[in-house]
Structure 1
Amino acid sequence: MRLTGYLLTPDGWLDGTLTVRDGIIDDIDGVPVTPRDNDTPRILPGFIDLHVHGGGGRDAMEGGMAPGVLARTHARFGTTSVLVTTMTAPMPDIEQALDAVAEAMASDTPGGADILGVHLEGPFIHPDKLGAQPAFARPGSSEQMMALMAHAPIRVVTLAPEIDGHTEMITFLAEQGVRVQVGHSCGCYQDGVTALAAGASGFTHLFNAMTGVSHRDPGIATAALAHAYYAEIIPDLVHVEQGAMLTAMRAIPCLYGVTDATAAAGMPDGEYKLGAHRVYKHGNSVRLEDGTLAGSALTMDQAFRNWIALGDSWAVASRRLSTWPARYLGLEDRGELLPGKRADLVVMGRDRRLQRVLVNGQEVNRDVI
């Protein structure tokens, strides 16, 4: 397969041709160019979403076929790799969700994003910073994590570092190669600094469900702005206002975007499940009945357009949604257009609208879930 157009490589744009063979980028040939305002397709690395609860009307906590529906739904919007994300819940419910992810990873999901594993968001969070998480928070331990990791590959864990025993758990997880993120936390600035020193490597939906930025009472978000190299943020322009987005973009070298998408993603307005909760999509937001933000209906193609609206170039927006998430997880086979990398690609027009999506060199049918 050969794709011709403007190619966004790590060294800049090329006007040329990308050749795919057996799901891998076999060759890239072209000349440096500044893209003109014309109809030439723009070819970028596929988007990598490390925080996704659902999509296409299905919630990850349902288990069963939900991970496959999630993966197929988000592939329609340019996501080529995904972490299925769980909710705070009773342990049997979490185990059921993990088993479903493991089954989906072991089977073929045609037309879907590549499922990389699990982002365990809770239950080891602070009960006073649940956000939209159900009220099943509890302290964690390395032994509990070992039991959960036996069910499915857990790549990211969100926890509150101020809870007794969690510093030791951070170190244990980091030694296992798991990325630990600080989130749903009532901790202070020093708790965030201590977590990073213990092995934490990121922050979950920056600014949301964490203590904030105050010059006399600095919280977890302040620790992120001062010290983080990586952090995830939800660029739907609802969860975080523009001024705070711009602050984070300037402060954190590898600030990357996630959707935190729920079952409502890719669906019309209405009522959906989010773990034990019922949530309601209206326009571009998803909320609990009391109005609390509850994940999102964001898709990665819209996230790309939002980064551009905030002032990013195409190249920087692509890094936020592809290159930096790949590097954060230590994925060397994707996230950039280079020979030898997976042929996970998105093709966009000059209007930043998706035209084609390829996962491992296979075209995604964007008309079906």
Structure 2
Amino acid sequence: MTYYIHAKKFFLPNTTENGGYLEVTDDAKFGQFLPEDQKPEGKIVDYSDKFIAPGLVDTHIHGLCGHDVMDNDFDKLNEMSEGLLKAGVTSWLPTTLTASHDQLREICSMIGDNASKATGAKIQGIHFEGPFYTEKHKGAQNPKYMRDPDVDEFKDWQEAAHGMITKISIAPERKGAVEFTSAVASDKVAVALGHSDATFEQAKACVEAGATGFTHTYNGMSGLNHRLPGMVGAALSMHLVDDELICDGYHVNPFAARVVIEKKGAEHVALITDCMRAGLMPEGDYVLGELPVVVENGTARLKDETHNLAGSILLLKDAIKNVVDWNVATAEQAVEMASYTAAKSSCILDKCGIIKEGRDADFIVLDDDMTLSETYLDGVSRYQA
């Protein structure tokens, strides 16, 4: 049955509206938006003290609820999709780690064959984080599998995934990176740059070949020096690229996050979590890929001598609240970065990321302090805080 949402504020693609009525049609799509003075006939669901935003889109997430994409188990992947509703996420990209060709191919097949069966947040594609990375900035990725980009290898994965790989991150200094980018980047596949010690010139060459993003900006990349701008300098200074940002307060200092958001604008910053299997789980010992990790005091770190950050336990609902609480973004910008820009940066904006007539009625209800109150999927309330 068609109904209308009445709320204090609506985050729409081109405007943020105070008050009004958003139609949800009987086929679970968004209908028309009516202003406050045009109250419609029919059922009205009242959120007059709350905000309505598009369902959040997590385009860089490895695990949740004790599970990891690399477990290669669809039942576990589906538990992650259900858990993501608690994070305000209604669409996501299961994200792989650096691994052998065959292991990655098996995971591509598993997701490609089953993605449409997910009962929670919708699997809109796959994000390949690696394996074409550089050892110096390996982070929590396993260096024994790192190698030069190979177009034929990518095509084999993409075939196994039934075309679902929509984003792949590579290190620009690897041999053949420019040629790989030129061959793979398209309106259906985003090439991002990360886990890299590349010079500014190497990063720029990949952007000119078609790369459109930077993977978790600042983290795992050559830093900004006034004479050697490096990867961070490229991420900040190149116009049309989208920069991922982990806003948990540990990966990036809030003032460094402000620099990216102010320089690039919300249209070119994608809030991500990089969450690993300990998301929504208690502190303790975990594994990321093949590497032992300890989760305590809000972070996940490798148990080796480096104690590198090993992904995060961040939920996207907390990332949007954090940037507002830190005074580095408005509520409108926070929502845009975690929905529209995230989807755009990963070539899935045609499926999610905005409230628009005819789109699936996936949306969230926020308190005015940006705390998640409720998550709707296909017009049905699926999670209440």
TM-score (norm 2): 0.89
**How do 1:256-335 residues align onto structure 2 when only pairs under 5 Å count?**
256-290=270-304, 291-311=307-327, 312-328=329-345, 329-335=347-353
C-alpha displacement at 1:127, in angstroms? Answer: 1.8
C-alpha displacement at 1:39, in angstroms? Answer: 6.9
**Residue 129 (1) aligns with residue 137 (2):** yes
C-alpha displacement at 1:12, in angstroms? Answer: 1.6
Q: Could you tell me which amino acid in structure 2 is paired with residue 241 of structure 1?
A: N
C-alpha displacement at 1:327, in angstroms? Answer: 2.5
* CA distance 1:323–1:62, shift in 2 (3 Å): same
**How do 1:18-37 residues align onto structure 2 when only pairs under 5 Å count?**
18-21=22-25, 22-31=27-36
**Residue 2 (1) aligns with residue 18 (2):** no
Partner of 1:91: 101
Q: Could you tell me which amino acid in structure 2 is paired with residue 74 of structure 1?
A: L
Q: Which runs of 4+ in 1 moved over 4 A?
A: none
C-alpha displacement at 1:199, in angstroms? Answer: 0.5
Partner of 2:210: 199
Structure 2: distance between partners of 1:313 and 1:163: 38
Moved more, 303-312 or 46-55: 303-312
Partner of 1:35: none
Structure 1: distance between partners of 2:194 and 2:215: 5
Structure 2: distance between partners of 1:141 and 1:336: 34
Structure 1: distance between partners of 2:351 and 2:152: 32
C-alpha displacement at 1:67, in angstroms? Answer: 2.0
Alpha-carbon contact 1:234-1:260 (below 8 Å) kept: yes
Q: 1:16 aligns with which of 16, 20, 30?
A: 20
C-alpha displacement at 1:216, in angstroms? Answer: 2.2
**Residue 251 (1) aligns with residue 268 (2):** no
**Residue 52 (1) aligns with residue 61 (2):** yes
Q: Could you tell me which amino acid in structure 1 is paired with residue 272 of structure 2?
A: V
Provide structure 2 residue ranges, at least 5 long, that are not aligned to the other structure.
38-46
Q: Could you tell me which amino acid in structure 2 is paired with residue 302 of structure 1?
A: D
Alpha-carbon contact 2:116-2:123 (below 8 Å) kept: no
* CA distance 1:274–1:366, shift in 2 (3 Å): farther
C-alpha displacement at 1:228, in angstroms? Answer: 4.4
Structure 2: distance between partners of 1:351 and 1:39: 15
Structure 2: distance between partners of 1:337 and 1:119: 24
Moved more, 301-310 or 3-12: 3-12
Provide the secondary structure at the position in 2 that maps to 1:207.
coil
Partner of 1:212: 223
Structure 1: distance between partners of 2:351 and 2:125: 16
Q: Could you tell me which amino acid in structure 2 is paired with residue 40 of structure 1?
A: D
Cα shift readout 1:168-221 (whole Å, capped 9, x = no counterpart): 100111147310000011110101111100100000000111101011222111
Q: Could you tell me which amino acid in structure 2 is paired with residue 53 of structure 1?
A: H
TM-score (norm 1): 0.93
C-alpha displacement at 1:19, in angstroms? Answer: 1.9
Structure 1: distance between partners of 2:293 and 2:111: 23
Moved more, 119-128 or 305-314: 305-314
Alpha-carbon contact 1:89-1:276 (below 8 Å) kept: no
C-alpha displacement at 1:138, in angstroms? Answer: 0.9
Structure 2: distance between partners of 1:310 and 1:31: 31
**Residue 172 (1) aligns with residue 217 (2):** no
Structure 1: distance between partners of 2:56 and 2:127: 17
**How do 1:35-114 residues align onto structure 2 when only pairs under 5 Å count?**
40-64=49-73, 65-107=75-117, 109-110=118-119, 112-114=120-122
Provide the secondary structure at the position in 2 that maps to 1:74.
helix
Provide the secondary structure at the position in 2 that maps to 1:280.
strand
Alpha-carbon contact 2:72-2:107 (below 8 Å) kept: yes
Structure 2: distance between partners of 1:47 and 1:228: 25
Cα shift readout 1:115-145 (whole Å, capped 9, x = no counterpart): 0111001111112211110121111211111
Provide the secondary structure at the position in 2 that maps to 1:40.
strand
Q: 1:139 aligns with which of 133, 137, 148?
A: 148
Moved more, 261-270 or 353-362: 353-362
Alpha-carbon contact 2:275-2:314 (below 8 Å) kept: yes
Provide structure 1 residue ranges, at least 5 long, that are not aligned to the other structure.
33-37
Q: Could you tell me which amino acid in structure 1 is paired with residue 21 of structure 2?
A: T
Q: Could you tell me which amino acid in structure 2 is paired with residue 4 of structure 1?
A: H
* CA distance 1:305–1:365, shift in 2 (3 Å): closer
Count of paired positions: 360
Structure 2: distance between partners of 1:294 and 1:322: 24
C-alpha displacement at 1:352, in angstroms? Answer: 2.0
Alpha-carbon contact 1:67-1:100 (below 8 Å) kept: no
Alpha-carbon contact 1:8-1:14 (below 8 Å) kept: no
Partner of 1:160: 171
Q: Among all aligned residue pairs of Structure 1 and Structure 2, give the percentage whose two residues are the same amino acid.
A: 29
